Structure 1
Amino acid sequence: MTAAELSPLTLISGPEEVLVERELTSLVGRARDAAMEVVRIDAAGYEPGSLLMHASPSLFGGATFIIVRGLHEASDELQDDLLSLLAAPAEDVFLLVTHASGQRGKRVLDALKKQRARVVTCPAIKNDRDKSDFVQQEFSRARRRISSDGVRALVEAVGRDVSELAAACAQLIADTEGLVTEAVVDTYHGGKVDATGFRVADAAIAGNTPEALRLLRHAIASGLDPVPIVAVLASQLRGLIKVGSAGRGSPEQLASSVGMAPWQVKRARAALSHWSSEGLATALQAVAAADFAVKGGGRDPVYAVERAILTITGARSSA
């Protein structure tokens, strides 16, 4: 690896820290392979003039890779120093700037883009569609395959935190061979609270009262809190309502507009054939009451969730 193989100007734009850190790690590794000095500057604690000092020629020669993190938090002094450096680029200085979001630092952003800096985008991974796409990309990067059910199970099990989701993908890729299925994911992550909550919700929405109550009692006996289980129940019901009001179109077409993955749209459509609008309203009201109870508004949180499940399964069967 040589310094010439790195871009002299790089902008990492976007708020998703997992993607930002991954790109930074890759570029720092390449810089060190090229025997470059790596300098890190944090915008939040910047001392005026230090950027230009690090960019000045070294007595010992060699290239310098300067990382400026958090342009969106940069002081006027740091922005002025960056603009000075960009106006008169120093020889053998490679500059990388990160910017999460917002208008702060716009002058520097414009200058970077004007000089045709390499731009790496790291958009936020928020909804389940984003997370499902992220999982698929992680496996594709490793030249591995994961089934649609496997993606669903993994997002349900560890999808709250993107860094945990990335770690779970890495673990499955490293520890397994062949196609990663739902059964494989369950072997590693089946005991997680999100996975348990989704199983309770699936059984309740399917009208399977005994299974929903069994799963709930098993979860509680395992030490899981009722609060996230109620949250999953509410999320699943809201998903049904979103898909039901989205109109016609293929799952792939509707997925983006409702903030869900195509497999979630398909599953919601299948479930909706057994629900009426009145039944969904009744079920959602029951979950709202349970949410109030498990967050301190009731004496027995477990009973509140059980009562919500009974109301949900009853509302479905009356459709």
Structure 2
Amino acid sequence: MTATATRTVPPLVLITGPEGVLAERALDSTLEELKAQAPDLEVVRLPAATYEAGSLGVHASPSLFGGEKCLVVEDLDEAPDELQQDLLTFLAAPEPDVTLVVTHKSGQRGKKVLDTLKKAKARVLEAPAIKSDRDKSDFAMHEFRRAGRKATPDAIRALIEAVGKDVRELAAACSQLVADTTGVIDDQVVLRYHGGKVEATGFRVADAAVAGEAGEALRLLRHAIATGVDPVPIVAVLAQQLRQLVKVGAAGRGRSADLARELGMAPWQVDKARRSLSGWGPEGLAESIQAVALADFEVKGGGRDPVYAVERAILTITRGRTGR
């Protein structure tokens, strides 16, 4: 029985979605699966940005020495017309022993090729965007789970605050913690490895401000500024945390997981907001939100001193929290 007859990967594979880490993993797993059946597999990558007309047909042609090929067409969403036409020509009469893998981040470019792939029953692998804190929390939790490790919600939160802006960096941080530690990963473990980054982020500043700790919030702010953190994202985090207080306060009772789905938040964010709501009233929240809106205007060019603008907003928030 030939490798072609026993292979588990279909002749056509479509990897779709904007999240680069997930798309790369989908491609890597596809190639590993193919090589498990055909160790001498020839892999040819055809990036859309440098594609030359006719290249697909040349590479798809049978080799004098036989054997299986995998053609990987990268970034169909950037494909010139020549590549799209060559793909349609190939799909009309696919070559035996050739697996075609196409990646497409997003958008309408290449739609006819996408539709043809799907109509031809291509295997579709999704690489959806990971943007919200909830998405990142789920991603990090899955990273630890697939490595056979357990991480506490506080550890996930601390890790996202430290490195969560970039999914690739988040994945690397999870991998490092798995490799370098044993047992349950908690927030203290994360702080040991990423404490400097966590300490300097707007999240720590916002936590202290929302808790009414003016001195600590100002100390963390000055430390963040000194280590190169821009005032703009700090104000954005202040605004985010105040909005979360309002949303969770208005949502009423219910399981954290249920409210998280309803509000588009991570469960730990719901729990954190509930803990922080003690001592807050509608007037204090309204005044704090207005102060942060003014700071946002000033740090984006509307004021002379962005750092002073953030300091003033922090003092307003801490007064609103404590009722002073």
Q: Deviations over 1:241-282 (max 9, x none)?
A: 333344554322232343210110121123224322222121
Give the Å deviation of 1:84: 2.3
Q: Deviations over 1:25-80 (max 9, x none)?
A: 33334555621111111223332221111111111211111001122233333223
- 1:191 aligns to what SS in structure 2? helix
CA distance in 1 between counterparts of 2:103 and 2:197 reads: 34
Give the Å deviation of 1:85: 1.7
Structure 2, unmatched stretches of 5+, are none
Is 1:206 aligned with 2:211?
yes
Is 1:10 aligned with 2:4?
no
Q: Deviations over 1:171-217 (max 9, x none)?
A: 11111111110001111112116763211111111112222223223
Partner residue, 1:260? 265
Q: Which of 293, 302, 310 does residue 298 from structure 2 map onto?
A: 293
Matched residue type, 1:187: R
Matched residue type, 1:199: R
Q: Are residues 222 and 57 of structure 1, via their aligned partners in 2, closer, same or farther at CA, if it must alter by over 3 Å?
A: closer
Matched residue type, 1:40: R
Counterpart mapping for 1:152-191 below 5 A? 152-191=157-196
- 2:136 aligns to what SS in structure 1? helix
Name the % identity: 65
Structure 1, unmatched stretches of 5+, are none
Partner residue, 1:82? 87
- 2:196 aligns to what SS in structure 1? coil
Q: Which of 116, 129, 132 does residue 127 from structure 1 map onto?
A: 132
Would you say the 8 A contact 2:42–2:68 is kept in 1? Answer: yes
Is 1:243 aligned with 2:248?
yes
Partner residue, 2:68? 63
User: Normalised by the size of structure 2, how large is the TM-score?
Assistant: 0.89
Matched residue type, 1:286: A
User: Normalised by the size of structure 1, how large is the TM-score?
Assistant: 0.91
Matched residue type, 1:260: M
- 1:190 aligns to what SS in structure 2? helix
- 2:247 aligns to what SS in structure 1? helix
CA distance in 2 between counterparts of 1:24 and 1:158 reads: 25
RMSD: 2.2
Q: Are residues 245 and 45 of structure 1, via their aligned partners in 2, closer, same or farther at CA, if it must alter by over 3 Å?
A: farther
Q: Which of 5, 25, 30 does residue 27 from structure 1 map onto?
A: 30
Is 1:104 aligned with 2:103?
no
Would you say the 8 A contact 1:286–1:308 is kept in 2? Answer: yes
Q: Which is further off, 60-69 or 205-214? A: 205-214
Would you say the 8 A contact 1:153–1:195 is kept in 2? Answer: no
- 2:131 aligns to what SS in structure 1? coil
CA distance in 1 between counterparts of 2:177 and 2:90 reads: 44
Give the Å deviation of 1:123: 0.5
The count of residues paired between Structure 1 and Structure 2 equals 318
- 2:43 aligns to what SS in structure 1? strand
Q: Deviations over 1:132-154 (max 9, x none)?
A: 00001111111111111101111
